[in-house]
Amino acid sequence: MNTLKKISDYIWKIPKKEKMKVDAYIFTDEEGLKLNSEALEQIKNVASLPGIVKAAYGMPDIHWGYGFPIGGVAAFDSENGIISPGGVGFDINCGVRLLTTTIKFDENKSRIRQLIEKIYNYVPVGVGSTSSKKYNKKDFKKIVEQGAVAVIEMGFGLQEDIEYIEDNGKIMPASFQDISPKAFERGREELGTLGSGNHFLEIQLVERIYNRKIAGLFDLFEGQLVIMIHTGSRGFGHQIATDYIQLMRTHLKKHNANLPDKQLINAPFKSELGQKYYSAMNCAANYAFANRQIITHYIRKAVREIFNIDIKVFYDITHNIAKLESHNINGVEKKVIVHRKGATRAFGPGRPEIPKKYVDAGQPVIIPGDMGTASYILVGTKKAEEYAFSSTAHGAGRTLGRRQAMRTLDLAKVLKNLEKKNIIIISKNKKTIIQEAPDAYKDIDKIASIVDELGISKRVARLIPLAVIKG
C-alpha cells in the first residue's frame, strides 16, 4: 500500500521496482484498495513475468485468485513472452450470455414463476450435474474443436446466433489431441449443464436505460424481460488447467525456477508445451461456448411453450481466457497474448471482431451481478484500448470467501432479503445461497459507475433479477 501512487480518483500506480519488469495499475477507489491488499501483491508478481508488455492491470472487481488475481489483465509478447494457466483460471471461458425477448414485465408478472420452473426442469444444475446425453468421442472432438458452430449443426440453435458470440463461438487453434482422457471423461456428460458456485441463470427486468440510442441498437427497452446465463467449461476446463499446471511443473522446472509465486507457473508461448496448453485452453473455451448454446436451446424451448415467441442471442462474452490479439504497444502495433482473468474484452467502435449490427457503437459488455443484485449492459470504448488492452470489469468481485460467508451469513436473512425484493430463488443447495449472497460481494453499482467514469466501458442499461436458478 505504501508504494501506491494516486494518478486520479480511480487510477492507482504501483511503480516498477525490484523484480517487476513493468508498472502495475489498479482501477478502483480507496475502499477497493483496502479490501484487496493480497490481490495487489499478486498484480506486482504478474508484472515480473517474462515478456510482459506495457503494464499489468487490476480491474475494479479485483480480488485474490490462483496466481493472477481475479480481475487481472496482462499481455505478453507473442514471440518472447509466456502463457500461464494461472492467468486464465480453472473455469476457462466462464462467461455470460444474454438473451433478449419482446416480453413486457408489466403484462406478464404472473408467469415469471412458471417460466423459471420450466427452465429449471430443462437445464441440469449443481455440482457434478450431468445432461441426459453422453457424447461419444467423435462428437465430443467436433464440439471442442468447433464450439457453438458444432452444436448448432447438431440442432441446438440458429445459424444467426453465431454472429452474436465472441469469436463467433469458435476459437482456433483447438485440437482434441491436446486434452487428456480424464478431461474427456469429465466433460462428455456435462454439456448443457449450469454447474454451481457463482454460476446462475436469471430472468431479469431492464429497469433503467442510460443511453437510449445504443439501447435501441441493442434492442433493449425499459420494462423488458431478458434472460442471463452465467456458466463456463465446467469440470472439463478445470481438468485442462490441472493437467497443464502439472505438466509445466514436471517439464519446465528450470524455466520456472525463480517465480515470485509458484502458482504463476507458465510456459514460453512459442514452446511446444505453451502451444499445447493454448490449444487445450481453446478446446475448453469452445466447450463453454457450446455449453451456453445448448442451455440457450432449452431456454428457447421453455419460452416457446409458455409465451409462444422466439428469443434472440444479444451477446455472449468470455471472461477467463488468453487471446492472441493486435494492440498498440508504445506506438507499435504488436501481436500479444492477452490474459484476462475475471475481466471482459471491451473493444471500441470499428473493430472487425464486433458483430456488424453493433460495430458503430462498440462491443457489448455484460457485467453480471449475482442472485440479488443488478447486472449491467455496457459498451466498449476506444479509451479501453488505450488503458488496458481493451478490457473492463467482469462482475462485482468477492469481499467474503465462500467459507467466510458460511461462517458469517445467515440463510434465513438472505432468503428474507430476496423475498423483500420479490426475487424468486430456486437452488439445489442451501449452502450455495449463503455462499453467493449479495453480502459476499462488492457493490456492483459502484463497479459499473467506476468503469463508466474511467471510460473503459460506458453504461447502457441496468438489469434487476426477477427469478434466479442457482446450482
103 close to 147: Cβ distance less than 8 angstroms: no
b/e sequence 336-362, b meaning 16+ C-beta within 10 Å: bbbbbbbbbbbbbeebeebbeebeebb
Under 8 Å between Cβ of 374 and 464: yes
Whether 22 and 16 have beta carbons less than 8 Å apart is answered as: yes
Query: Distance between CA 4 and CA 32 in Å, rounded?
Result: 13
Catalytic residue among 63, 230, 238, 394: 394
**What whole-number distance in Å separates Cα of residue 381 and Cα of residue 90?**
29
Contact between 367 and 378 under an 8 Å Cβ cutoff? The reply is: yes
> What's the residue count for the chain?
471
Contact indicator for 456, 381 with CB cutoff of 8 Å:
yes
User: Grid coordinates standing for 386?
Assistant: 488505450
297: DSSP letter: H
**Cα angle: 12, vertex 198, 278; to 5 degrees:** 70
312-318 and 200-209 strand pairing: unpaired
For the question of residue 327 being annotated catalytic, the response is no
CB neighbour burial string for 386-398, b if at least 16 within 10 angstroms, e if fewer: ebbbbbbbbbbbb
At 342, give phi and psi (nearest 5°).
Answer: 70, 45
Which residues are catalytically annotated?
394
